[in-house]
Amino acid sequence: MTSYISLPMYSANIDERLRIIAGKCTACGALAYPQRPVCIECGNDTFEDTPLSGDGTLYTFSVVNGGGAPSEFDDEQIMTGDVLCGVVELAEGPRVMVRLADADPETLEIGMKVKAVVRRLYDQEGILRYGAKFVPVT
């Protein structure tokens, strides 16, 4: 089974993903990244676009191997092997599920500093999809 994302849906939030734009609730100030239609803290439905730094701390991580990733990552797994995923606590507060890059799983450490970079995510319908991946700060 694949996680199909249509080109219009992908395009609708590309700015949010490539520039790491959170939604800041206009009622309570809570940050939501990725943005949501309703604030999980207070139920408000109005947000201000708020750029995030892309800096964070690795909260946890996992190595997805043996074809365990969604099918859109099949080509990547064939070419590169394991897919690294993790949870990053952004400097501004939200914890987010992310893809990790430029890292050997043996050298990853919970608590290490990471930063967002724009990278290729996958190819769907012949179109390369880009988004943020997180890399260790050196």
For residue 1, being part of any structural domain is answered with no
Tell me the mean pLDDT in the region 42-70: 89
Residue 77: what pLDDT? 62
For residue 2, being part of any structural domain is answered with no
Asked which of 15-24, 56-65, 113-122 is least confident by mean pLDDT, the reply is 15-24
Q: Across all residues in the chain, what is the average pLDDT?
A: 83
The full 3-state SS of the chain, as one line of letters, equals CCCCCCHHHHHHCHHHHHHCEEEEECCCCCEECCCCCCCCCCCCCCEEEEECCCEEEEEEEEEECCCCCCHHHHHHHHHHCCEEEEEEEECCCCEEEEEECCCCCCCCCCCCEEEEEEEEEEEECCEEEEEEEEEECC
Number of domains in the chain: 1
Asked which of 37-51, 53-67, 112-126 is least confident by mean pLDDT, the reply is 112-126
Range of the domain at 54: 7-136
Q: How confident is the model at residue 9 (pLDDT cuts 50, 70, 90)?
A: low
